Structure 1
Amino acid sequence: MIDVSQSQTNSLSAFIPARGLGNPHLQTLLPRFINRRPLEVTWQALPLPDGDFVDLAWRTQPASSTATPIVAVFHGLEGSLGSSYARDILRAIEQRGWHGVLMHFRGCSGRLNRLPRSYHSGETGDARYFLSWLREQYPHAPLAAVGYSLGGNMLLKLQAEWGNVSPLRAAVSVSAPLKLDICADRINQGFSKVYERHLVKSLVAKVLAKFADHDYEQLIGLTLQQIERARTFRQFDNRFTAPIHGFADADDYYRQSSAFGYLGYIQQPALIIQAFDDPFMTPAILPDPQQLPDNVQLAVSQRGGHVGFVGGSLLRPRYWLTEAVPGYLARFL
């Protein structure tokens, strides 16, 4: 772990990869294969002001009078409750005696959302509404949040937009693509193309499924053939993400939605966890810790991959994030 000053690291432990698991792709992929325990949750559909909805997955749903902390979780691109990191953190939250709830971005819960639009890395409106709703429904409960990858970028941007009126006592971001343009280029190189193809294929499939209900050619000039031929993030974002969400093009979307430029405006406690070897990005996306506000902490490890951070051993893996994330939040909850 890079020492970003004793006051910043505090009780956060340094991550050490399991022996033989230092490779970033092993760190990234192994949790998805060796950590597949299901998790029982209570589902709740949250109607949105524009007529759409997001699906919530509660590990334990509290009474409205609860004073027990609630931690909101935001998944990564095309993630869901099926993502191992989401189940892991919900279990870890419960073990602390808190309530955990995962907000699925539009169309990520297994149900297509109603409107032509979708979700993206900088779209904070749904999370803003959800967290404000939590504050109203559970007025006595301390609130915090953790976001992974895309969800981490979104959460940091939202905290910056909220400033000192955020309802969250603290936030944690894990493996966030803080500069989206750099990340879009990096993931289109080498073995990382495997991740890109998988994610873009999932995104394309959802858009194709929605063609039955929405005339995308009339809305944004997008044909079935054009979206079917999207193979990279830049192609998909140029053809769908940018126009359907009001951006001029992919570069405009990346510029406006990258959390990097917003970090200096965050006024509540925040922890940013990254790994130098993350195959989705490069060290060029990392901020200078000396340029961050005192309330924003940066923890960067040499190893860890993308939302991996598997310690212990291959036979007895330890998921470091389930210790580090609640450990940081406990200081404020």
Structure 2
Amino acid sequence: MPHSIFTAEFRPAFGFGNRHVQTLLPRFMSLAPLARCTEIINLPDGDFVELAWITSDGGSRHERQTPLSDDAPLFVLFHGLEGDLKSPYARDLLNAAAKLGWRPVMMHFRGCGQSPNRLPRAYHSGDTADAYWVLGELGRRYPHALKVACGVSLGANMLLKLVAEQGGDGLDLAGAIAISAPLDLAASADVLNQGFSRVYQRHLLKGLKAKVAAKLANGPLPVSIGAHQLNQLNSFWAYDNEVTAPLHGFSSASDYYARSSAGRLLSEIELPTLVLQSLDDPFMPRDLFSRFSQPSEAVRIELSDRGGHVGFIEWRRGRLSSWLARRVARQLADWSGLPKPQAVSEAQSEAH
């Protein structure tokens, strides 16, 4: 096994090891409560993104009694395709950071927040410009705060591409965490068009097509299809070829996948980076990492046999819970050097 790849410590809850069960189970678990406020960040091209700032201490809808100082560490989350603050992983990860005393914030990609975005274009797996702009703004606001970015699924591929593009000192980040990243977009599109994985494809495409249909109803878009043809697109290959590519300056779906996939860039990453992935992820091939060159020494990849896509549900303290939140909390504590809460210390003891 390459020096950058390790076996993850995740063990699925007994009876819940199936990859589709792991993928779907978080949707049936209670959402962690959050208190938040929304901020609009205007972008250079006239569009905007929404930031969701978490204002509770984690596990509570109540505001923090003591506001955080400007040098409190900052945890920036980038969600997955058609995700938002209601996504179970977002609640778990943001709460985990809040419990550590971090300042958590999630950037909603264009059109994924509470309001549709202004321009015809939306977002895609390789679009790093908005995240770069937001991270720059956060760096100006909190110049003395340690910062870590975390991406999930599409957001993870985007984040890995961004840190590779910017080099070791091009971002005001102490580290990056990527969860269930579709590092080979063409391969993921193939897998999602097979077997039960077509259920995920159909669900995700439904949301994407609804947003494009609403924009078509308000005026023409730089695409060559109408509402009826849009409704007939039944695979990511078809949708990305007819919608994503022309909206974002690619010649085809193949061109978009080739230029936006972050797997080919793992060897170029200089920023300390943790990649969490399961081998049974129904969104990507099992041999995903064999397709890429050796990752750089800055990258630590932790692979588990099971976990599904952004699942990783374990049995802990008498209930189902998110191993991802526990693993991310441990990484944040390690990178910050701050005193570790009891739950994080116990997690480290169990790991060794």
Q: Partner residue of 1:137?
A: 141
Q: Partner residue of 1:291?
A: 294
1:35 is displaced (CA, Å) by 2.8
Q: Deviations over 1:86-117 (max 9, x none)?
A: 01101000011101000000011131100000
SS in 2 for 1:45: strand
Taking the aligned partners of 2:16 and 2:317, their CA distance within structure 1 comes to: 8
Is residue 2:192 matched to residue 1:187? yes
Taking the aligned partners of 2:301 and 2:191, their CA distance within structure 1 comes to: 21
CA RMSD of aligned residues (A): 2.1
Q: Partner residue of 1:209?
A: 214
Structure 1 runs (4+) greater than 3 angstroms displaced: 61-65, 287-290
Alignment map for 1:73-152 (pairs within 5 Å): 73-152=77-156
Taking the aligned partners of 1:49 and 1:119, their CA distance within structure 2 comes to: 15
Taking the aligned partners of 1:332 and 1:125, their CA distance within structure 2 comes to: 26
Q: Deviations over 1:132-178 (max 9, x none)?
A: 11000111111111100000000000000110222111000000000
Is residue 2:206 matched to residue 1:198? no
Taking the aligned partners of 1:64 and 1:88, their CA distance within structure 2 comes to: 20
Normalized against structure 2, the TM-score is what?
A: 0.88
SS in 2 for 1:331: helix
Could you say if the C-alpha distance between residues 114 and 68 of structure 1 is closer, same or farther in structure 2, counting changes exceeding 3 Å?
A: same
Alignment map for 1:34-45 (pairs within 5 Å): 34-45=29-40
Is residue 2:26 matched to residue 1:31? yes
SS in 1 for 2:307: coil
Q: Any unmatched runs of 5+ in structure 2?
A: 57-65, 337-352
Q: Percent identity?
A: 48
SS in 1 for 2:287: helix
Could you say if the C-alpha distance between residues 184 and 211 of structure 1 is closer, same or farther in structure 2, counting changes exceeding 3 Å?
A: same
Q: Any unmatched runs of 5+ in structure 1?
A: none
Question: Do the aligned partners of 2:245 and 2:253 also contact (CA within 8 Å) in 1?
Answer: yes
- Paired residues, number: 326
1:47 is displaced (CA, Å) by 0.8
Alignment map for 1:162-241 (pairs within 5 Å): 162-164=166-168, 165-216=170-221, 219-241=222-244
Taking the aligned partners of 2:292 and 2:264, their CA distance within structure 1 comes to: 14
Question: Do the aligned partners of 2:312 and 2:323 also contact (CA within 8 Å) in 1?
Answer: yes
1:65 is displaced (CA, Å) by 6.0
SS in 2 for 1:212: helix
Normalized against structure 1, the TM-score is what?
A: 0.93
Name which structure has the greater RCO, CA cutoff 8 Å, separation 6+: 1
1:317 partner letter: L
Taking the aligned partners of 1:162 and 1:278, their CA distance within structure 2 comes to: 28
1:203 partner letter: L
